[in-house]
């Protein structure tokens, strides 16, 4: 698959920057998201230095849902068709904080932002011949626990526990989104993935350790975005191959309930 227009969130450094670089080197236009305009424009300069000539800066604070909607509006101003959306941006909070919308901050950035952005960009994705929505989760989803009552603020805060729950929400969302897109006979497909244990700011902040290179961390996102060998919509990937997600991430009742609660909290029309 040779996508012509792609959006990568959290592209200012780490896995996101490397994903944008690798996808941009495939050809086509890459919309690169950062938290601020200055950072997004800096990403474009860095990509240009590595041979990526069609990069477009877009920006917005993903902890603020109004800015997520504004980001979607920027994307719509640049293109009417989106072939690939990579929901890559993520945070690991060591202390409990609430967003401007009253959401726990980890949940705001890691779950609610990609949920809302995906829905706002669905018309552009559906305008593509075969769009792909790639949700960067983590193996941490296997240790995550979440109930509908934990949205939008978990009953108990623990940095790793809430991070794991947010990554579980990514997988639950991917499953329910795949189910609804298929039932509605939409053309778009979606995948979730574990990028590996990668040396990023998030890994250092949350776990105090180093891991593999960002080049390897981008590999599975690029595979899910471009490979002809991907499986059915809703599949989960690690190391550029389909693998089982955690058994407790396969819960259709929870997937439906979380999806509907998220739509209600975001005033977002369900598929």
64-73, 93-102, 205-214, range with the lowest pLDDT: 205-214
Please give the angle made by the CA atoms of 44, 48 and 50, to the nearest 5 degrees: 120
Q: Is 163 a catalytic residue?
A: yes
pTM: 0.94
Q: What is the mean pLDDT of the chain?
A: 94
Please give the C-alpha separations between residue 222 and each of 18, 92, 171, 204, in angstroms, as whole numbers.
Answer: 10, 23, 18, 23
**pLDDT tens, residue by residue, 165-192:** 999 999 999 999 999 999 999 999 999 9
Beta-carbon neighbour count of residue 7 at 10 Å? 31
- Fold observed for domain 5-266: Rossmann fold (3.40.50)
| pLDDT interval class at 267 (50, 70, 90) | very high
Cβ contact 190:117 at 8 Å: no
The domain segmentation of the chain, as residue ranges, is 5-266
**pLDDT tens, residue by residue, 19-60:** 999 999 888 899 999 999 999 999 999 999 999 999 999 999
| pLDDT interval class at 236 (50, 70, 90) | very high
Check 160, 163, 236, 259 and give the catalytic one: 163
């Amino acid at each position: 698959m040779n996508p012509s227009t792609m959006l990568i969130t959290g592209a200012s450094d780490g896995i996101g920057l490397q994903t944008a670089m690798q996808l941009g080197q495939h050809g086509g236009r890459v919309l690169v998201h950062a938290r601020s305009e200055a950072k997004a424009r800096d990403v474009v300069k860095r990509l240009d230095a590595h041979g990526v000539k069609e990069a477009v800066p877009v920006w917005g604070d993903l902890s603020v849902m109004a800015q997520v909607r504004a980001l979607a509006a920027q994307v719509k101003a640049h293109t009417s068709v989106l072939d690939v959306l990579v929901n890559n941006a993520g945070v690991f909070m060591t202390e409990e904080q609430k967003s401007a919308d009253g959401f726990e901050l980890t949940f705001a950035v890691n779950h609610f932002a990609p949920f809302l952005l995906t829905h706002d960009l669905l018309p552009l994705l559906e305008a593509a011949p075969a769009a792909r929505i790639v949700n960067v989760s983590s193996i941490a989803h296997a240790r995550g626990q979440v109930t509908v009552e934990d949205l939008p603020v978990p009953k108990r805060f623990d940095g790793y526990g809430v991070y794991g729950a947010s990554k579980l929400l990514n997988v639950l969302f991917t499953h329910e989104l795949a189910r609804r897109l298929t039932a509605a006979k939409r053309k778009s497909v979606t995948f979730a993935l574990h990028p590996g244990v990668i040396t990023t700011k998030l890994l250092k902040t949350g776990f105090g350790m180093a891991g593999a290179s960002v080049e390897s961390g981008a590999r599975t996102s690029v595979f899910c975005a471009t490979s002809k060998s991907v499986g059915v919509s809703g599949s989960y990937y690690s190391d550029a191959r389909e693998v089982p997600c955690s058994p407790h991430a396969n819960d259709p009742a929870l997937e439906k309930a979380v999806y509907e609660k998220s739509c209600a909290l975001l005033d977002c029309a369900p598929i």
